[in-house]
Chains A and B, each alone.
Chain A
Amino acid sequence: MRQLSYSEAIREALRLEMRRDSNVFILGEDVGQFGGCFGVTGDLWKEFGEDRVRDTPISETAIIGTAVGAAVTGMRPVAEIMFCDFLTVCMDQLVNQAAKMRYMFGGKAVVPLTVRTPVGGGISAAAQHSQSLEAWFTHVPGLKVVMPSTAADAKGLLTAAIRDDNPVMFFEHKLLYPVKGDVPEGEYVIPLGQADVKREGSDVTVIATSIMVNRALEAAEALAAEGISLEVIDPRTLVPLDEETILASVEKTGRVVIAHEAVTRSGFGAEIAAIIAEKALDYLDAPIKRVGSKPAPIPFSGVLEQFVLPGSQDIIAAVKELV
């Protein structure tokens, strides 16, 4: 199959949806001629023009507010927030406006809005450009939360997100942008709410999101040499969450590690752990282990940053405590 990078796959989804539906447009900082801070929107402005690939001022509140207003009046905006850390600047428009409009108005509004934003550390971008804040948004009824780990998933899930009639938070990982993978050509949609078993195994289930899926697959490879078999599950969407696939794997292995790059404390892993404890406790042969960032802001210097961020060795260590 044809290979694309994660960012090329995202751009392809945007291009195809913009061709398919004239109501789809992009807005964000430096998304036009500049091509996006991480180059994701690239040359889209050449094909669609600056009306549909709109450069905005550095005004995150206006970006999301404008997107919300356009969405409730018939458009299908895709807003880019340059770093997920900057979502703090536009929280009201996301949490109090976009998420609740439909509900507050008795189901009479649709808010077909997609917000794309990169998460993650690993590039010495320090504390205000490296966070993974996805869990905040899973806490807000009315929002959907998507977090792809592969190029193909990014294409298929972004297509579904754009077509969805709800506000969807789409979290990309900045280290994944150059990573290539097989990506189906043409229209490709992955319904929101379907987990993917990235590797089948029998001893321990690793439920991982975003770049930690890659780390989990590295761990699985290393542990296979020692005769330990990991099953790696990527929920792909956190809201709605495919509990069935997760619980089926827990039933099979009886041992669980949950891995995400966000700070472990109150991360989405806590929610997954709680679901497993509530619904599959009887299948567990060992305590649930969580792997995530240490409870510190993401530091600048590489040695500090690597100490705070989780890696495959942390997954391996967690697995070894279980088997």
Chain B
Amino acid sequence: MEKEKLVDLYRQMVRVRQFETKVSELFAQGKIPGFVHLYIGEEATAVGACANLRPDDYITSTHRGHGHCLAKGGDMKLMMAELFGKKTGYCKGKGGSMHIADMDVGILGANGIVGGGLGIAPGAGLSAKLRGTDQVTACFFGDGASNQTTFHEGINIASIWRLPVIFICENNQYGISLHQSKHQRVADVADRAVAYGIPGVVVDGNDVMAVYEAVGEAVKRARAGEGPTLIEAKTYRWHGHFEGDPTVYRSEKELAEWKERCPILRFGKHLVEMGVATEQELDTIKAEVDNEVEEAVRFAEESPLPVPEEALEDIYA
């Protein structure tokens, strides 16, 4: 991979990290209402996966969707404004964190229903197939969603019709408070691919290059008409299920161990060791991203609120 692309992977992960860190602060200050589910710790998965996608490819996302949205090319300002409930936000303040979408860059929506996107993604795949394009759809979901109806029905229908869909399970170890070992008998969600006659791949979700390569293979298969792949990225969310979650169900030790495997630190170190970038260059990226995030916050804070009556618009086309 050329230097620019490697450095861009780093930058994209930093963008997700800094955005989420700022959202956490703003939520604690009461500036962001509702629920927010943060992606801190999982950045390598969204960034590695989306680096394989074109602007006209699709993704379906989850309640923990900010990382997917940024990685797929979503506009940080419009995202932040939406989190603030402002008129200038992606959804004019009607969606919030769990419903950010951008049809122009193929983001078919975050989703407040666990497993919701697993139902929709095959449809985007079928649409591409019927229209005769080689667009692919990446469907992100968590380990918790792998026990929903949509997981089985969605992957099954995509497999029988050989739809160009990449199912990416972000196994962050917990379905809300329930550890994976308590919510399913298998240790690897990817094992379930056997049931659909498709490849199942386990990948280190904190290794952006590993994710990039695994998803790249799957995208190649999908574009070639060879059907879907199930990829399981093993990762971990540093924050709770939602901001304010006391996380009584996990230990400090476990969290500390996963922080050791921080996808950004790891990849940064790798870039320096490979001579792709210097520490100084990486620091510059962080500073630039800080500015970008500050600008997004400024945009959100200065934006007007919607007019109440707008609540009755956009219900029907």
Contact = CB atoms under 8 A, between A and B. Distances in A.
A230 interface: no
A162 to B, nearest CB: 14
B131 interface: yes
Contacts of A65: 118-120, 122-123, 150, 153-154
Nearest to A164: B317
B118 A109 contact: no
Contact of B122 (A66, A110, A112): A66
B130 A25 contact: yes
A68 B112 contact: no
B123 A66 contact: yes
Interface stretch (A56-64, A212-220, A285-293): A56-64
A75 B150 CA distance: 21
A66 B128 contact: no
A227 interface: no
A311 B122 CA distance: 43
Given A105-B101, A109-B101, A73 B109 contact: no
A110 B120 CA distance: 14
A314 interface: no
Interface residues of A, number: 45
B130 A72 contact: no
Given A66-B123, A72-B108, A61 B317 contact: no
Most A C-beta atoms less than 10 A away, residue of B93, B112, B118, B126: B126
A23 B123 CA distance: 13
B177 interface: no
Interface residues on B, range: 35 or more
B89, B127, B316 — most chain A CB neighbours (10 Å) = B316
A133 to B, nearest CB: 19
A203 B174 CA distance: 66
A67 B154 CA distance: 12
Contacts of B121: 69
Contacts of B316: 102, 142, 144, 166
A25 B126 CA distance: 11
Interface of B: 58, 60, 89-95, 99, 101-103, 108-109, 111-113, 116, 118-128, 130-131, 137, 149-150, 153-154, 156-157, 160-161, 313-317
A57 B127 contact: no
A73 B116 contact: no
B20 to A, nearest CB: 21
B130 A51 contact: yes
Given A62-B157, A74-B127, A74-B131, A96 B116 contact: yes
Given A105-B99, A105-B109, A106-B314, A61 B119 contact: yes
Across the A-B interface, give the 6 residue pairs with the lowest CB-CB distance, nearest first: A69-B123, A65-B119, A107-B314, A106-B91, A62-B153, A165-B317
9 contacts: A61-B149, A62-B156, A66-B126, A93-B150, A97-B119, A101-B101, A107-B314, A110-B317, A166-B317
Interface in A122-159: 141-142, 144
A27 to B, nearest CB: 8
Contact of A73 (B58, B89, B313): B58
Contacts of A54: 161
B122 A105 contact: no
Given A75-B127, A106-B90, A108-B101, A62 B154 contact: yes
A308 to B, nearest CB: 31
A225 interface: no
A71 interface: yes
A106 B110 CA distance: 13
B99 A104 contact: yes
B94 A103 contact: yes
A118 B119 CA distance: 23
A72 B137 CA distance: 13
Contacts of B153: 57, 59, 61-62, 65
